[in-house]
Chains A and B, each alone.
Chain A
């Protein structure tokens, strides 16, 4: 054979044999990694980690040398078991996390390597509960089930990171997560919250099985950073709503209702924040729901949630307040609206276009220095407005502006003719009241006949003083501290006070006077002159004790009783004639309290008369003279009579005296009478009043003795 032929034969047959032989024969160094002999493992050799399966590793030995740990991690990473390498295999990771040695691995895992864990696979492996606080922190975004974590470790992390306590024990499996700081509970009700917003609030967060997230504030927040709602002795919950990106505040234990929506905690205050989404190329205003009262707020601005009822000082701030019973809501400021969930006509859908919802829009105006506070009680349907506001009541738009209640034109062209009297401004019955104007305006609901009542009340006392010399002085004073001038009061109380001695109305113990009875002539004049049409109901009180005797109640109690009695006879219509149709004349007091001499003069010589006639015209259209209201001892001489006897028209003279005193400074009744019966003219508030006086006096003149002043009075009127 040739050498070449021999070489070919050798190469063809022997080399493969040699190669196979080499494969089948272990190298002497490789033999020391045999599993059956762990004692031969060289953990310092990088090859070991590539050649021996991790379930054969002894992490206790590995951890004896930090370098070995790092080598092992690198190997795991290279093998796709840990994250951070060129490749990553979730199934391998899942296997690794399920390995019995995994716990030891975790214990020895350097902090810098925590991020190489796979939170999701850890949860799937069932060993997520082996993560410590720091490991949780490094992988929290990947953890698909917070409930799978060890509660204490999780809470340690939450406490350190958010200063908040978190309890996820009630979560459904794989429903609670904390990704990018947003705690989600994807249960049925799907809530979420940005935990960082609770930082420093010492809150306890409870995730519920139904998806809600309850947050308890059970500690007193530091003074500088406390939430104004939360005091040491109160706990409050709020629920996070994932779908609406909102929060429910369950503050039932405080004097505030349940809220739901978007809220912002800032500097110790809670704000409802707006959410505006793009939909169909236009803004869609989202809402925050006040679940307790069943209403929502549509916002374009932040609104503070107040923990106490709003007052006038809040009129320019955007605030809402829900009462504890969740029946009442108060709104102030401007730039947002509150929509009640009350449906009109039982239309079970939101239909603002057709006005089936009540919508309240506070409209504070800083330019005109007009505040806005709207208070609405769902249960009683009492609506009270201070300042400017707008109310959508069905298809009626009612504005409160400049101290007036306005109805805007909003009906559909060519359709209904709408009248005030048929309740159309009150489609949903509301008892509307406008505060803060001289005399409050009340609009009642249909059950009371859709009335507008100007609730103006003024009380005056007719004060009769006798000084030490026996000089008498008759003066008019207000009982109550009326804050505003009252226009057209519907109740006017005229009462008497007799002050003995020389007190002259100056409050002293001996004079039985009260501090609030200081003369307020300026105010009286203002009221009287504004009331030039003379339309009050008069309450004539002769009883000094009514207002000073504790067992009879104070002025306000008495007034309340009178108003109550008056309200039992509601006005028939808004027309002025009917307005007073059921008004009454009120008499009260002791008959002896009125000095006979004064009576004599007032009643033009008919001494001891203790009944007064109020001119029908004086009251603006009719008084039920057949049914006067009596109170006190003065009713004695009058009760039993079929009708109040119409006397001499004294009240016009009497009124003339009051006006004369107010306008001309006529000091005493004597002086007035003297002028009246001699030469001076009387100043009347109006020619109409003058003519009324004239007509009555003329009647007196014809019926009794001549007064001698008729012609002069006639001349005055003309």
Chain B
């Protein structure tokens, strides 16, 4: 009986040891696995945060730049040339030349794609090995903001492990949509009124789109429009219109005021 009892004890101890060993083994694997994942997660979030902050900044810069350039990353051929700060012609010789919302979105994306690398700077601030491929931006102009989704494949390598980041999304508050709507309104009545600036229309447009709008007469053929958002001092949207002064319609029965030159009134 005593022997049987000792055997039993050994068996029990053996089982305990076995389970303990197994348990330790399991716990060990779990521990190291968790440690690896945690290391990886930390690196990813910092990289991701870095890219997103770059995207945020670049997007904001893009909206400001695009606004100043009248919806374009780079001024198109049909743009003013004589102003200190030129702008695209949205109206050129009686034809509307205003970019569509989609075009402006593409222009924003181009800017982001062009200037994001300067901010990313090859991830030089990171010690991990990070490789990346060409980025591709897709922007959307919403009512009160501009959002950009950046497709930017990034591979982060640490401890012989790889983590991939592919897509980033950011938005920035902006009146760009209102500015485009306002621009369309202005061009619409500019087409109606030819070489005249409709003052009350401009006022209505200003109200309708919550924008302060100034019109600048550069010369007899060119008008500049500058829109500002009082709530966003950084936002300015500019475009120009150009008419052909030689095609002004002659009004009927208009007095030829040149005849009055030299006339003296009592």
A residues bordering B, Cβ < 8 Å?
260, 282-285, 287, 289, 291, 296, 298, 300, 334-337, 339, 341, 349-350, 352-353, 359, 361, 363, 390, 392, 398-399, 401-402, 404-421, 425, 434, 441, 443, 452, 454, 487-488, 533, 535, 573-579, 620-621, 687-688, 691
Determine which of B198, B230, B243, B265 lies in contact with A575 in the assembled complex, contact meaning CB atoms within 8 Å.
B230
Are B206 and A576 in touch, CB under 8 angstroms? Answer: yes
Q: A352-B257, A352-B260 are in contact. Are A575 and B199 (CB under 8 A)?
A: no
- B208 CB to closest chain A CB (Å) equals 5
The reply to whether the CB of B129 lies closer than 8 angstroms to some CB of chain A is no
Determine which of B201, B220, B254 lies in contact with A412 in the assembled complex, contact meaning CB atoms within 8 Å.
B220
Q: A402-B193, A417-B218, A420-B215 are in contact. List 4 more A-B contacts (CB 8 A).
A: A390-B251, A416-B217, A417-B224, A454-B204
Q: A283-B259, A417-B216, A621-B230 are in contact. Are A405 and B223 (CB under 8 A)?
A: no
Are B257 and A407 in touch, CB under 8 angstroms? Answer: no
Q: A334-B253, A579-B207 are in contact. Are A419 and B216 (CB under 8 A)?
A: yes
| A434 partner residues in chain B, CB cutoff 8 A | 200
Q: With the chains together, A363 CA to B255 CA distance in Å?
A: 11
Q: With the chains together, A398 CA to B201 CA distance in Å?
A: 14
Determine which of A336, A411, A575 lies in contact with B212 in the assembled complex, contact meaning CB atoms within 8 Å.
A575
* A to B CB contacts below 8 Å, 12 in the list: A284-B259, A289-B265, A291-B266, A339-B260, A404-B201, A405-B199, A409-B223, A417-B224, A419-B216, A420-B214, A425-B199, A620-B207
Q: With the chains together, A346 CA to B14 CA distance in Å?
A: 116
Q: With the chains together, A59 CA to B230 CA distance in Å?
A: 105
| A487 partner residues in chain B, CB cutoff 8 A | 204
| A361 partner residues in chain B, CB cutoff 8 A | 254-255
Are B210 and A576 in touch, CB under 8 angstroms? Answer: yes
Q: A406-B193, A419-B215, A575-B211 are in contact. Are A298 and B199 (CB under 8 A)?
A: no
The reply to whether the CB of B246 lies closer than 8 angstroms to some CB of chain A is no
Which residue from chain A places its CB closest to the CB of B230 in the assembled complex? A577
The reply to whether the CB of B34 lies closer than 8 angstroms to some CB of chain A is no
Residues 109-168 of B at the A interface (beta carbon under 8 Å): 143
The reply to whether the CB of B202 lies closer than 8 angstroms to some CB of chain A is yes
| B231 partner residues in chain A, CB cutoff 8 A | 577
The 7 closest A-B pairs by CB, nearest first: A575-B212, A406-B196, A577-B230, A576-B207, A413-B219, A335-B253, A407-B197
Q: A405-B199, A411-B220, A575-B228 are in contact. Are A353 and B258 (CB under 8 A)?
A: yes
Q: With the chains together, A487 CA to B253 CA distance in Å?
A: 33
Are A287 and B143 in touch, CB under 8 angstroms? Answer: no
Are A287 and B197 in touch, CB under 8 angstroms? Answer: no
- B155 CB to closest chain A CB (Å) equals 37
Q: Mark B231-246, 1 if CB is under 8 A from A, else 0.
A: 1000000000001010
Q: With the chains together, A518 CA to B53 CA distance in Å?
A: 60
Are B214 and A404 in touch, CB under 8 angstroms? Answer: no
B residues bordering A, Cβ < 8 Å?
82, 143, 189, 192-193, 195-204, 206-221, 223-224, 228-231, 243, 245, 251-266
| B261 partner residues in chain A, CB cutoff 8 A | 350, 352-353
Q: With the chains together, A289 CA to B265 CA distance in Å?
A: 8
Q: A409-B223, A575-B230 are in contact. Are A337 and B255 (CB under 8 A)?
A: yes
| B202 partner residues in chain A, CB cutoff 8 A | 420, 452, 574
| A407 partner residues in chain B, CB cutoff 8 A | 196-199, 215
Are A452 and B218 in touch, CB under 8 angstroms? Answer: no
Determine which of B195, B211, B220 lies in contact with A413 in the assembled complex, contact meaning CB atoms within 8 Å.
B220
| B82 partner residues in chain A, CB cutoff 8 A | 414
Are A287 and B265 in touch, CB under 8 angstroms? Answer: yes
Are B220 and A410 in touch, CB under 8 angstroms? Answer: yes
Q: A287-B263, A579-B207 are in contact. Are A421 and B198 (CB under 8 A)?
A: no
Q: With the chains together, A579 CA to B196 CA distance in Å?
A: 24
Are B263 and A404 in touch, CB under 8 angstroms? Answer: no
Are A285 and B212 in touch, CB under 8 angstroms? Answer: no
Q: With the chains together, A415 CA to B217 CA distance in Å?
A: 9
- A139 CB to closest chain B CB (Å) equals 35
Are A406 and B219 in touch, CB under 8 angstroms? Answer: no
Q: A533-B208, A576-B206, A621-B230 are in contact. Are A418 and B216 (CB under 8 A)?
A: yes
Q: A298-B255, A414-B82 are in contact. Are A350 and B263 (CB under 8 A)?
A: yes
Are B197 and A409 in touch, CB under 8 angstroms? Answer: yes
Q: With the chains together, A103 CA to B199 CA distance in Å?
A: 79
| A287 partner residues in chain B, CB cutoff 8 A | 263, 265
- B259 CB to closest chain A CB (Å) equals 5
Are A406 and B197 in touch, CB under 8 angstroms? Answer: yes
- B242 CB to closest chain A CB (Å) equals 10
Which residue from chain A places its CB closest to the CB of B189 in the assembled complex? A404
Q: With the chains together, A535 CA to B189 CA distance in Å?
A: 21
Q: A409-B217, A411-B219, A620-B207 are in contact. Are A350 and B260 (CB under 8 A)?
A: yes
Which residue from chain A places its CB closest to the CB of B84 in the assembled complex? A417
| B258 partner residues in chain A, CB cutoff 8 A | 353
- B262 CB to closest chain A CB (Å) equals 8
Are A688 and B143 in touch, CB under 8 angstroms? Answer: yes
| B230 partner residues in chain A, CB cutoff 8 A | 575, 577-578, 621
Q: With the chains together, A289 CA to B264 CA distance in Å?
A: 11
Which residue from chain A places its CB closest to the CB of B251 in the assembled complex? A363
Give the interface centre of B193, B203, B214, B265 by most chain A CB atoms within 10 Å: B203
| A352 partner residues in chain B, CB cutoff 8 A | 257, 260-261
Are A409 and B196 in touch, CB under 8 angstroms? Answer: yes
Q: With the chains together, A404 CA to B202 CA distance in Å?
A: 10
Which residue from chain A places its CB closest to the CB of B205 in the assembled complex? A576
| B217 partner residues in chain A, CB cutoff 8 A | 409, 411, 416-418
Q: With the chains together, A554 CA to B134 CA distance in Å?
A: 72
Q: With the chains together, A452 CA to B197 CA distance in Å?
A: 14
Q: A454-B204, A488-B204 are in contact. Are A285 and B255 (CB under 8 A)?
A: yes
Are A574 and B193 in touch, CB under 8 angstroms? Answer: no
- A518 CB to closest chain B CB (Å) equals 30
| A410 partner residues in chain B, CB cutoff 8 A | 220
| B143 partner residues in chain A, CB cutoff 8 A | 687-688, 691
Are B243 and A409 in touch, CB under 8 angstroms? Answer: yes
Q: With the chains together, A353 CA to B256 CA distance in Å?
A: 11
- A233 CB to closest chain B CB (Å) equals 32
Q: A575-B228, A575-B230 are in contact. Are A419 and B214 (CB under 8 A)?
A: yes
Are B200 and A454 in touch, CB under 8 angstroms? Answer: yes
- A418 CB to closest chain B CB (Å) equals 4
Q: With the chains together, A399 CA to B199 CA distance in Å?
A: 10
Which residue from chain B places its CB closest to the CB of A244 in the assembled complex? B266
| B262 partner residues in chain A, CB cutoff 8 A | 350
- B184 CB to closest chain A CB (Å) equals 15
- A430 CB to closest chain B CB (Å) equals 12
| B243 partner residues in chain A, CB cutoff 8 A | 409
- B116 CB to closest chain A CB (Å) equals 31
